[in-house]
Amino acid sequence: MTLMNSAPSLHNDESLQPVPSSSGQPRRYGDFPTFPAALDYAAQGDAGLNIYSGKGLLLEALPYKKLRNQAVQTAQRLLGTGLKPGDKVAIIADSDGDFARIFFGCQYAGLVAAPLPLPVAFAGKEAYLATLRGMISSAEAKAVIIPDVIADWTSDIIGGLDLVFAGSPTELFDRPAFDTALPEIETEALSYLQFSSGSTRFPMGVCVSQRSGMANAMSIARDGLQVRQTGDRCVSWLPLYHDMGLVGFFLTPMTCQLTVDLLPTREFARRPHVWLDLISRNHGTLSYSPSFGYELCARRAPAAGLDLSSWRVAGIGGDMIRPHVLAEFAECFAPAGFDAHSFEASYGMAETTLAISFAPLGTGIETDTIDLDILESEGVATPPTHTSTTTRTFVLCGRVLPGHAMEVRDQNGEALPDRKVGTIFVHGPSLMDGYYRHPEETRNVLDEQKWLNTGDLGYMLNGQVVVTGRAKDLIIINARNIWPQDLEWSAETHLQALRSNDVAVFAVEKDNKEHIVALIQCRATDPEKRAALQSEAVSLFRRLHGLDVAVTLVPPRALPQTSSGKLTRAKARTMFLNGEFTPQQ
């Protein structure tokens, strides 16, 4: 066995030049059997990853050619620790070159990567460690890679776990890489575990095979984003431990030889305009964000000198799409050349690898306004008339990807016609193999014909899907179907002091009756202003929805969120029932 060259050098160098947009090779749209095969091809060109700091400084330029060589060496190092093909490797994922080297090292070694979150999305060290250790145990990980940013927590993370290797990327790279043959990677082999987020119990790992991962990447690039032969470039701050960041702006670009500019997720909220600045100066064309990312940018004073005219696909996903937030962003950045037609609505989830539908490109956000009373009482999305008292506007999330299928079904499993609300089911090559080590939960959502019950409610309209909410969040009061998103949207839209994700609505049982609770984050310290906000919210719910809602004000940043910044009502409800929210006085 021959000892390979040493670990990669990762020094900040002001003379660094970013990897160019053009790969200089014929574009292929993910038509590969495995991720290693896709990287082998991308390595023949000039595209790659650019790693930036939260201030927009280039830290590392990583062409796919260099990444491929380093990933192969990392695969040798991983196997040299005693890991065997099929073993799970938990990678606490920072948005940097180390994650790329280790993730793809796992792919070449036949190991199963399990990207895990940094503590940015959790409230406190204790809660984060409990969640993280639960994920590591659930994955049956044999190795854990811990980035330097939380190196001080290493003993807390790995204590008592039976591991072959645990340490930082540098400690892994310092190990010898022996020139031994790597395993042949089969298309049906498990590629990675994608952990769901926001559950009150430890999340379950979604099993994504090489086959399903490549199928989704190909559909996203070829059909959804319609990546061009030349000129496209991705910019992302999305976390690499979440499906939208990992698949949408890490794996998919590589499979179609696109360059990606990566920003650290943990610093985005402090400097959101660095995202826009990077799109501007590097002429980015493809970039996504949940609603709150666009809202953060619009709420901060726009930076001078931005040119966003190159941004042809401004994707929106990861949560219910709020049209008013996007309208504010478009108005704010129109002087910088942003075109509202570039907004791209889509729909998906980890269980479908990532995407399952895309709206037609270049149309912007298309909406459907319906009579909310009829929706709640009859389950039909009916356009309003002059007699309608309450309406709700939903966003059309596009047509199902080619080669996939989608149906909205009733409680008996029968497909429903347009505008009839039911449960959304999907089918196709992008679907997960199941939840890792959770066969019963898998059977609950994936039938024998491989149709996936998404758990989402919605309706079809002229071939496009409209998502109305999560089935498990639905509140039934006096034979009315109440979507908590409707109440949250009303509060955040009509109460000037509120922002997206400032409100969590759910039902609790008391005296054998369902009662609606709204937790509202309040930034005011003056008692009179807090009382006024509470009273205004109660009146608003009664006036717009005809509902009596118990409003509790909670401190800023008190409501729990998932790793993608999405509100998790289930956890908020549990915290409320456990007395963790003390009403502000």
Q: What is the pLDDT of residue 148?
A: 94
DSSP assignment string, 475-506 = EEETTEEE-HHHHHHHHHHH-TT--TT-EEEE
Most confident of 8-12, 301-305, 432-436, 487-491: 432-436
Q: Which residue among 266, 300, 327 closes a domain?
A: 266
Q: Which residue among 472, 498, 525 closes a domain?
A: 472
Q: If you search the block for the tokens 């937790």, which residue do you land on?
A: 519
288-292, 306-310, 334-338: the lowest-pLDDT one: 288-292
pLDDT band with cut points at 50, 70 and 90 for residue 321: confident
Higher confidence at residue 471 or residue 406?
406
Higher confidence at residue 77 or residue 126?
77
Q: Are residues 136 and 175 in the same domain?
A: yes
pLDDT band with cut points at 50, 70 and 90 for residue 133: very high
Give which of 395, 391, 394, 460 is closest to 425, Cα–Cα.
460
Q: Are residues 439 and 465 in the same domain?
A: yes
Written as six digits, the tokens of 327 are 């309208």
Q: Are residues 139 and 224 in the same domain?
A: yes
Average pLDDT over residues 391-410: 96
**Burial profile 377-402: b = 16 or more Cβ within 10 angstroms, e = fewer:** eebebeebeeeeebebebbbbbbbbe
Taking only the tens place, the pLDDT of each residue in 31-56 is 999 999 999 999 999 999 999 999 99
Average pLDDT over residues 519-529: 92
pTM for the full model? 0.84
3-class secondary structure per residue, 142-181 = EEEECCHHHHHHHHHHHCCCCCCEEECHHHHHCCCCECCC
pLDDT band with cut points at 50, 70 and 90 for residue 9: very low
pLDDT band with cut points at 50, 70 and 90 for residue 513: confident
The burial class, CB within 10 Å (0-12 / 13-18 / 19+), for 431 is buried
Q: What is the pLDDT of residue 472?
A: 79
Residue 582 pairs in a beta bridge with: none
Greatest C-alpha distance within the chain: 81
Q: Are residues 415 and 468 in the same domain?
A: yes
Q: Are residues 171 and 193 in the same domain?
A: yes
In a domain, 20, yes or no: no
Q: What is the pLDDT of residue 13?
A: 54
Average pLDDT over residues 499-504: 88
Taking only the tens place, the pLDDT of each residue in 242-256 is 999 999 999 999 999
Q: If you search the block for the tokens 């920072």, which residue do you land on?
A: 94
Q: Are residues 549 and 405 in the same domain?
A: no
pLDDT above 60 (res 2):
no
- Beta strand 205-209 with 434-435 is antiparallel
Give which of 498, 21, 501 is closest to 233, Cα–Cα.
21
Q: Are residues 69 and 183 in the same domain?
A: yes
Residue 556's domain is classified under what CATH number?
3.30.300.30
Q: Which residue among 219, 237, 266 closes a domain?
A: 266
Q: Are residues 446 and 519 in the same domain?
A: no
CB neighbours (10 Å) of residue 188? 12
Q: Are residues 256 and 399 in the same domain?
A: no
Quick one: the chain helix, strand, coil %, rounded to 5? 35, 25, 40
Give which of 120, 85, 125, 131 is closest to 105, Cα–Cα.
85
Q: What is the pLDDT of residue 200?
A: 35
Using CA atoms, how far apart are residues 329 and 145, in angstroms rounded to an integer? 38
Residue 121's domain is classified under what CATH number?
3.40.50.12780
CB of 112 within 8 A of CB of 436?
no
In a domain, 239, yes or no: yes
In a domain, 289, yes or no: no
Q: What is the pLDDT of residue 198?
A: 41
Q: What is the pLDDT of residue 384?
A: 94
pLDDT band with cut points at 50, 70 and 90 for residue 175: very high
pLDDT band with cut points at 50, 70 and 90 for residue 1: very low
Q: What is the pLDDT of residue 584?
A: 53
For the chain, what is the mean pLDDT?
91
In a domain, 343, yes or no: no
Indicate the number of domains in the chain: 3
pLDDT band with cut points at 50, 70 and 90 for residue 202: low
Q: Are residues 436 and 506 in the same domain?
A: no
Q: What is the pLDDT of residue 583?
A: 58
Average pLDDT over residues 339-361: 96
Average pLDDT over residues 112-130: 80
In a domain, 379, yes or no: yes
Extended strands (E) in 317-398: 343-348, 355-358, 367-371, 391-395
Q: What is the pLDDT of residue 223?
A: 97
Residue 554 pairs in a beta bridge with: 521
Average pLDDT over residues 303-324: 89
In a domain, 15, yes or no: no
- CA–chain centroid gap for 264, Å, is 15
Phi and psi of 371, rounded to 5°? -80, 110
Most confident of 47-56, 314-323, 511-520, 533-542: 47-56
Phi and psi of 76, rounded to 5°? -65, -40
Residue 374's domain is classified under what CATH number?
2.30.38.10
In a domain, 5, yes or no: no
Q: Are residues 532 and 443 in the same domain?
A: no
Extended strands (E) in 396-482: 399-400, 405-409, 422-427, 434-435, 452-461, 464-470, 475-477, 480-482
Using CA atoms, how far apart are residues 36 and 33, in angstroms rounded to an integer? 9
Average pLDDT over residues 317-335: 88
In a domain, 184, yes or no: yes
pLDDT band with cut points at 50, 70 and 90 for residue 493: confident
39-48, 387-396, 547-556: the lowest-pLDDT one: 387-396
Q: Are residues 141 and 246 in the same domain?
A: yes
Q: If you search the block for the tokens 């042809």, which residue do you land on?
A: 312
Average pLDDT over residues 450-463: 96
User: Domain containing 553: what range?
Assistant: 474-577
Q: Tell me the one-letter amino acid at 463.
A: G
Average pLDDT over residues 8-31: 81
